[in-house]
């Protein structure tokens, strides 16, 4: 779970410009918002004719599709096929799924599995709770800034502190709710407390009525590679420091870690 860029991103010798540009287009469209040719061209900083050729190539392989009425481009079916293949073959998700189902059934609340990608938490799985909760923005494949979610803070807590500080030193924190952390110093303080406890809370820091308990998943080398969470509305989840709730989440994460080859108790 590194926050550094990959070798291909560090060293331009390994980059293929046209492929980088195509990936930039797909990355932009991954937020689910269709865009026009000019919007995409302006965003990635290349001329419209080059962007058009990129889109034509992607469309020929079904990675993007163009709405004939609006002229806007969106991700195509080939992206869905890739996502499905990733889900099926992802070892962490496959290993975690039965234990996530058990945690959901025991508590009746929504459960998540997520990983960290630099400043963002990426959801690999979400199992809806057995009770009505209303709107919860998390969804499989979605990204949220890590500093304002229980899963994200949990994962940041197991990254080297100097790397976290460097990433957030000049970061402009957005306060989504009254409880959102809003400075790097407050974030670093919370991360230290999370490391000491071995789990994290979300006190409505991204969505005011949502509460969450998150715990780490380790691989066979003792490295935190993912996190799980139990989430629900404040009126059912509070008090968050309920030992029974915490133990259920931590135990599920520990069992997933064990099935991935981790042999020491976190």
Q: 168-218: per-residue pLDDT in tens? A: 988 999 999 999 999 999 999 999 999 999 999 999 999 999 999 999 999
On whether both 100 and 67 belong to a single domain, the answer is no
Who's near 46: CB < 8 A, 6+ residues apart? 21
Is the bond leading into 239 cis (omega within 30 degrees of zero)? Answer: yes
Residue pair 151/212 in contact (Cβ under 8 Å)? The answer is yes
Q: Is residue 83 part of a domain?
A: no
Residue pair 199/212 in contact (Cβ under 8 Å)? The answer is no
Q: Which domain holds residue 202?
A: 90-259
What pLDDT, in 10s, does the model give residues 15-67? 678 888 888 888 888 888 899 999 999 988 888 999 999 999 999 988 999 99
Q: Where does a domain end: 78, 106, 138?
A: 78
On whether both 98 and 66 belong to a single domain, the answer is no
On whether both 223 and 128 belong to a single domain, the answer is yes
Predicted pLDDT at 87: 60
Predicted pLDDT at 91: 84
d(CA 48, CA 52): 6
Specify the 3-state DSSP secondary structure of 139: coil
Number of domains in the chain: 2
d(CA 40, CA 44): 6
Q: Is residue 208 part of a domain?
A: yes
Q: If you average pLDDT over residues 228-246, what whole number do you get?
A: 93
On whether both 222 and 250 belong to a single domain, the answer is yes
Q: How far is CA 43 from the centre of its chain?
A: 23
On whether both 150 and 71 belong to a single domain, the answer is no
On whether both 74 and 95 belong to a single domain, the answer is no
Q: Is residue 2 part of a domain?
A: no
Q: Where does a domain end: 78, 99, 131?
A: 78
Phi, psi of 115 (to 5 degrees): -130, 170
Does the pTM exceed 0.75?
A: no
């Amino acid at each position: 779970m590194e926050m550094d860029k990959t070798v291909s991103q560090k060293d331009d010798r390994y980059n293929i410009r046209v492929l980088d540009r195509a990936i930039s287009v797909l990355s932009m469209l991954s937020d689910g918002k269709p865009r026009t040719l000019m919007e995409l061209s302006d965003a990635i900083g290349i001329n419209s004719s080059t962007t058009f050729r990129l889109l034509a190539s992607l469309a020929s392989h079904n990675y993007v599709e163009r709405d004939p009425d609006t002229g806007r481009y969106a991700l195509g079916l080939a992206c869905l096929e890739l996502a499905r293949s990733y889900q099926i073959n992802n070892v962490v998700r496959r290993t975690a799924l039965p234990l996530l189902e058990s945690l959901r059934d025991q508590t009746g609340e929504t459960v998540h599995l997520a990983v960290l990608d630099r400043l963002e938490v990426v959801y690999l799985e979400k199992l809806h709770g057995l009770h009505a909760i209303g709107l919860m923005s998390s969804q499989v494949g979605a990204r949220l800034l890590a500093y304002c979610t229980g899963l994200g803070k949990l994962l940041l807590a197991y990254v080297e502190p100097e790397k976290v500080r460097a990433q957030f030193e000049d970061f402009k924190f957005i306060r989504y709710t009254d409880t959102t952390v809003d400075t790097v110093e407050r974030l670093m303080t919370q991360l230290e407390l999370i490391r000491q406890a071995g789990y994290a809370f979300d006190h409505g820091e991204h969505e005011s009525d949502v509460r969450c308990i998150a715990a780490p998943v380790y691989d066979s080398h003792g490295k935190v590679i993912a996190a799980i969470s139990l989430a629900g509305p404040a009126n059912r989840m509070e008090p968050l420091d309920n030992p029974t709730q915490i133990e259920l989440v931590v135990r599920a994460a520990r069992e997933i870690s064990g099935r991935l080859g981790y042999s020491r108790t976190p």
